[in-house]
Amino acid sequence: MNRLPAPILRHLAALRALLVLTVICGIAYPLLVTGIAQAAFKDKADGSLIKDAKGQSVGSALLCQEFVDAKGNPLPQYFQPRPSNAILAGSTNDHGCDPAQSGGSNLGTNSDKLKQQVADRQKTMAAFDSVPGHSVTPGQVAVDAVTASASGLDPDISPLNAAQQEHRIAATRGITAAQVEALVKANTGGRDLGLLGESGVNVLQLNLALDAQYPYTGKYR
Amino acid sequence: MSVAIAGWLQAGLLVLALAISYRPLGDYLAHILTSPKHWRIEKFLYRLIGVDSEADQTWSVYIRSVLAISVVGVLLLYSILRVQDHLMLALGMPGMRANLAYNTASSFVTNTNWQNYSGENTLGYTAQFAGLAVQNFISAAVGICVAATLIRGFVRRQSDRVGNFWVDLMRLNLRLLLPFSFVLAIVLVASGVVQSLADPHTVTTVTGGHQTLYTGATASQEAIKELGTNGGGIFNANSSHPFENPNAWTDWLEIYLLLVIGFSLPRTFGRMVGSQKQGYAIVSVMALLWAGSTAINTWLEARGWGAAARLAGGAMEGKEVRFGIPASSLFATSTTLTSTGAVNSTHDSYTPLGGGMALFNILLGEVAPGGTGSGLYGMLILAIVTVFVAGLMVGRTPEYLGKKIRPAEMKYAALYILATPAVVLTFTGIAMAAPSARSSMNNTGPHGLTEVLYAFGSMGNNNGSAFAGLNGDTQFWNLTGGLAMTLGRFLPMIFVGALAGSLAKQKQTPASAGTLATHKPLFVGMLLGVTLIVVGLTYFPALALGPLAEGLS
């Protein structure tokens, strides 16, 4: 063995070191963490899934999902998540919030394309959220309702964005705006530890609470 | 509480946590790098690997050992990625294409973690944890190893030895990175990060749609990804993905992790050279640069310049609601001032000057506090340049920590300073000249140039974050990128090793009345100035055509 030239011995040692570290850091470590995670924090480790009344998972509390009809049009009886770029390229029935396609638009703030997208979204959301007795102008639409997130999977909307959608929800479901507002308030998370990040409203949890408390009787599919 | 006050408070809490960690972690690292005692398991592993744990290596043997483990690392990782479809838990993903596998292997071995693929639809679980995560550990340790040789160069007298690479490597993994990552991975899972090797689970959504949820060994990788300033995410969206970074608390913790080793290493340095004050001087410069850059970036993003941001009412494109602007800017600044490159927001969609700041941070050479080890040796090289400049002013042979900075030392320091910019600017020039490379740009005009400059700046400096609109998965970008990352990582390491060897050979020069005190505020100010001037002179023309042209027009 020792007859081999030094560079070869060195690379053999390197290879053995690499294999040893692969076994320790690449196999034992992740498996041990997985074992403990699954034993002690199974719900979180599996992705914080939310179950409906029948015990079926309807999604993750951490990920947005689309509240749209079969054609991809937003359903007025549900709070709508932020615009999403997590879309399978070239797909016709993927409208966003696809966990297999995480990512953002990556358009610069001076991009004409982004400017056009923002303007279009402002117009669409203003029309969508305006109901008799309560009108929303394009300039009033909340900033997070016209911009896409980095992940394309942002589960939250800002409290301002939720407030803007309240009247539409109330009108569609035949309840008062105050009733919707109370539910929004109950589903608004503050900053972590009182100072980290920003407060947001989890859209999936809010919509499930809406369905539980004020079921929508119309047809949507 | 207003957004601004909350933003200041979370940054303040971060500074507090880092200040508390400075002494114990720095001292522990010094202990790891100097203790004569081996653990029993370590002795067993040295026998298994077949290395002599008592041998003290010359700088050239030490650096050759670094290169050896990196070469076999690239080869093994490349093979794993190519044949991942035959491994367990492959999830039906095919083997990676050759040029993409080359790029990815180089990327993870060099601590860059640039990703031209999206994890959730390219890689099976095994390739992620048994292939990529291993290099997260090794490359982080290798950076600290090379920094250790430079410190030993200052400490040792008339010696041609700078330490034992195998001992440093094993100890840093077994005593530091592995136990810390383990505890932090559990904390991350308890806070909502996923960790499951079950097949991706398909759920039917409320309105009847379908979502398939990829999980993987995410928390275990997230911990070492941040702690080792790696930055390669399990998911395409990296730390903006809620499965990697579910809430503002995990976000804050991840920022802390990616900074903590870099900010504690000056303590290790001060302790090993026998003067804590030298460590305080270095960490002051790092902290000033970090705080200044964080404040500027947060202000720029909060102002929300740019036509689309103005129209929308704020720069929220590419940012998550749960983080908001201050926590996004804090992450962006910290990840680009270290060699991490993880992102919790898309830098491409930052305001022109805000994104420009992220690029500027990378071009500074990632020294505030920089990658694990690489930040410290980068800053020490700049300290040598600073005493040299000061020496020229008064006409004395400059000294640093009792070692003379002679032509040989200056030669290595100058080569170190020049190596990365040469790589970054040459490749950027080639890319802008090649139509096939230019067609990868997602944005046009100055912003498109910024995408290209950012790409090679990030790869050459081993950062790994991107102006991600750029489509990097082409033959041109995969091959030139792999080369840029390799040169940007190992050329500077070779010069640091040579410098360490040259310093170790000298005897100690006693300080005299004319010696510049390198632990005083005057030196801190000079080092800060040199750091900014060196990068300013090198990159100003390129920055003027990219982010500055866009931001000021």
Is any Cβ of chain B less than 8 angstroms from the Cβ of A208? Answer: yes
Which chain A residues are closer than 8 Å to B209 by Cβ? 65-66, 68
Instruction: Look at the alpha carbons of A142, B355, B118, B338 in this order and tell me if their dihedral is positive or negative.
Output: negative
Q: Is B197 on the interface with A (CB under 8 A)?
A: yes
Interchain CB distance below 8 Å, B189 and A45:
yes
Q: Which residues pair with A51 in a beta bridge?
A: A57
Segment 374-433 of chain B within 8 Å of chain A by CB: none
pLDDT (0 to 100) of residue B346: 97
Residues with Cβ < 8 Å from B480, sequence gap 6 or more?
Answer: B427, B430, B431, B437
Question: Per the CB < 8 Å rule, is A150 touching B344?
Answer: yes
Query: Exposed, middle or buried, B257 (CB in 10 Å: 0-12/13-18/19+)?
Result: buried
Site of tokens 């998965």: B473
| Cβ pairs A/B, distance under 8 A | 382
The single residue listed with the structure tokens 């720029």 is B300
Rounded Cα gap, residues B453 and B36, in angstroms: 46
Give yes or no for B257 touching A (CB within 8 A).
Answer: no
Chain A interface, best mutation among B42, B220, B240, B322, by max A CB count within 10 A? B322
CA distance, residue A140 to nearest chain B CA (Å):
9
ipTM of the complex: 0.95
Q: Which of A212, A188, A184 is nearest to A79 (CA)?
A: A184
| Residue B88: CB atoms within 10 Å | 9
Q: Rounded distance, CA B392 to CA B386, Å?
A: 10
Residue A2 has a pLDDT of: 60
Contact B312 A66 (CB under 8 A): no
The ranges of chain B with pLDDT < 70 are none
Where is B110: in which H helix or E strand?
A: none
- Give pLDDT, residue A5: 92
Closest by CA position to B42, among listed B172, B143, B134, B157: B172
Judge contact between A164 and A141, C-beta under 8 A.
yes
Residue of B nearest to A21 (CA): B134
pLDDT of residue A220: 46
Q: Where are the alpha helices (DSSP H) in B434-520?
A: 435-438, 445-460, 475-505
Which of B166, B205, B307 is closest, CB to CB, to A17? B166
pLDDT of A218: 74
* Tokens coding B302: 């909060």
Output the six-digit token pair for B4: 């601004």
Nearest to B242 among A15, A108, A153 (CB): A153
Q: What is the pTM of this model?
A: 0.97
Nearest partner of B375 among B415, B336, B422, B414, judged by Cα: B336
Instruction: Enumerate the domain spans of chain B.
Output: 373-552
* Rounded average pLDDT per 10-residue block, chain A, 221 residues: 84 98 98 98 97 90 95 94 93 87 95 96 96 94 97 97 96 95 95 92 96 81 37
Query: What gap in Å lies between CA B499 and CA B95, rounded to an integer?
Result: 42
Kindly determine whether residue A13 and residue B173, on different chains, have CB atoms separated by under 8 Å.
no
For residue B416 the two structure tokens come to: 């170190």
User: Does residue B213 sit in helix, strand or coil?
Assistant: strand
Q: What pLDDT, on the 0 to 100 scale, is given for residue A219? A: 57
Q: CA-based angle B212:B105:B341, to the nearest 5?
A: 70
Of B65, B191, B321, the CB nearest to A10: B65
Which residue in B has a C-alpha nearest to residue A121's C-alpha? B312
CB of B55 less than 8 A from some CB of A: no
- The answer to whether B64 faces chain A, any CB pair under 8 Å, is yes
